[in-house]
Amino acid sequence: MPALPGLGLTSIMIETKSLTKKYGDLVAVDDLDLRVEAGELFVFLGPNGAGKTTTIKILTGLLQPTSGIASVAGIDVVKSPIEVKKIMGYLPEDLFLYDKLTGREFLQFVADMHGVQNKQDKIEKFMELFELSAAANELIEGYSLGMKKKIAIGAALIHDPKVLFLDEPTGGLDPRSARMMKDLLQNMRSRGTTVFMTTHILEVAEKMCDRVGIINNGKLIKVGTIDELRSGTRETAAGSLEDIFLELTGGTQEDWVSQFLDDVANHS
Ligand code: ATP
């Protein structure tokens, strides 16, 4: 198997071939070819509406593609969605939680679904790590957004998945929990878990990723390590991922912002 740019020869954990998803006339994911190696931390970037969540939903078996192939650990996600769900964890952008369960009950429920051994011990340790112990017996409906997110993270991790799909994992978390999340992901990666995540926080992507894929209007426009991306743009070695991202996805809108504010001021 050929090596991916910037990486050695290993096995492919996530793969899409000519993956396409249409919503009516709108092509949300357009002929996407992507490969992520086992143990890699891959960050999928793109502007709002670029097709990131749609891609993740197909890879996690929640959405049928219009055409093309998507596989995780060599398993076709369309043909065998249950098999794929056994080995993956998923943190969705819109959290799916049961509001009438307590945080602890929800994690127990998810752990039971996956047949997790020593679930009580694992749940208590997770609650402690994310400072949820005091709220463990309260109904999820009373949780703040950040607390709900932490419970959803626990649900994605409880069965020690081989592959983790995370849609905006740090969004809505306070600084301490966001740091905890980043440490957790780095640690999982170093233990061999494959991580596929989206984020709009480019600093997070830059610090953590092995490789980045940039999608715009459903099309993969660039993929590689940060250095590889930099060498394909006008950016110098000092150029940040934000600079690279903005160049590849249409530049900044500083002039437009200034014009807009002038217009607003002229009409007041
Ligand atoms: P964001 O960064 O804002 O979360 P995204 O990159 O995850 O965006 P998607 O949610 O995958 O983008 O959406 C891609 C495109 O598909 C958008 O134009 C969106 O409006 C459209 N879309 C997504 N879901 C549906 C749906 N169920 N029906 C119709 N159009 C949809």
Contact criterion met (CB below 8 Å) for 31 and 219: yes
- 40 domain residue, yes or no: yes
List strand residue ranges (DSSP E) for the chain, in order.
12-23, 26-37, 41-45, 67-72, 75-76, 88-91, 163-167, 194-198, 211-216, 219-224
Question: Of all protein residues, whose CA lies closest to atom 28 belonging to ligand 1?
Answer: 23
- 243 domain residue, yes or no: no
Does the pLDDT value for residue 10 go beyond 70? no
Assess whether the C-beta atom of 64 lies below 6 angstroms from ligand 1: no
Q: What is the mean pLDDT of residues 79-88?
A: 92
Q: Which atom of ligand 1 is nearest to the CA of 54?
A: 11
Q: Which atom of ligand 1 is nearest to the CA of 218?
A: 14
Nearest-angstrom CA–CA distance, 160 and 151: 15
Q: Which tokens sit at 64? A: 């049928």
Assess whether the C-beta atom of 54 lies below 6 angstroms from ligand 1: yes
Quick one: pLDDT at residue 204?
82
Q: Ligand 1 centroid to 264 CA: how many Å?
A: 30
Quick one: pLDDT at residue 234?
66
Assess whether the C-beta atom of 23 lies below 6 angstroms from ligand 1: yes
In sequence order, what are the beta bridge partners of 196? 42, 165
Give the three-class secondary structure for 80. Answer: coil
Going by pLDDT thresholds of 50, 70 and 90, the confidence category of residue 13 is: very high
- 35 domain residue, yes or no: yes
Q: What is the mean pLDDT of residues 60-89?
A: 94
Quick one: pLDDT at residue 5?
46
Q: Nearest 5 degrees, angle CA 228-CA 239-CA 9?
A: 20
| DSSP 8-state code for residue 32 | E
For 19, the domain range is 12-95+159-224
Q: Ligand 1 centroid to 49 CA: how many Å?
A: 5
Question: Of all protein residues, whose CA lies closest to atom 10 belonging to ligand 1?
Answer: 53
Q: Ligand 1 centroid to 54 CA: how many Å?
A: 6
Q: Ligand 1 centroid to 229 CA: how many Å?
A: 25
Assess whether the C-beta atom of 52 lies below 6 angstroms from ligand 1: yes
- 235 domain residue, yes or no: no
Specify the CATH number for the domain of residue 175.
3.40.50.300
- 185 domain residue, yes or no: yes
Assess whether the C-beta atom of 213 lies below 6 angstroms from ligand 1: no
Contact criterion met (CB below 8 Å) for 91 and 165: yes
Assess whether the C-beta atom of 50 lies below 6 angstroms from ligand 1: yes
Does the pLDDT value for residue 8 go beyond 80? no
Assess whether the C-beta atom of 45 lies below 6 angstroms from ligand 1: no
- 22 domain residue, yes or no: yes
Write the pLDDT tens digit of every residue in 121-142. 999 999 998 889 999 999 999 9
Output the pTM of the full model: 0.88
- Give me the DSSP letters along 40-66: -EEEEE-STTSSHHHHHHHHTTSS--S
- 134 domain residue, yes or no: no
Which is more confident, 2 or 149? Answer: 149
Q: Using DSSP, how many helices (H) and how many strands (E) does the chain show?
A: 10, 10
Give the three-class secondary structure for 67. Answer: strand
Write the pLDDT tens digit of every residue in 219-258. 999 999 988 888 766 665 567 888 888 888 876 666 666 7
Contact criterion met (CB below 8 Å) for 194 and 163: yes
List strand residue ranges (DSSP E) for 142-209, in order.
163-167, 194-198
- 242 domain residue, yes or no: no
How many domains is the chain built from?
A: 1
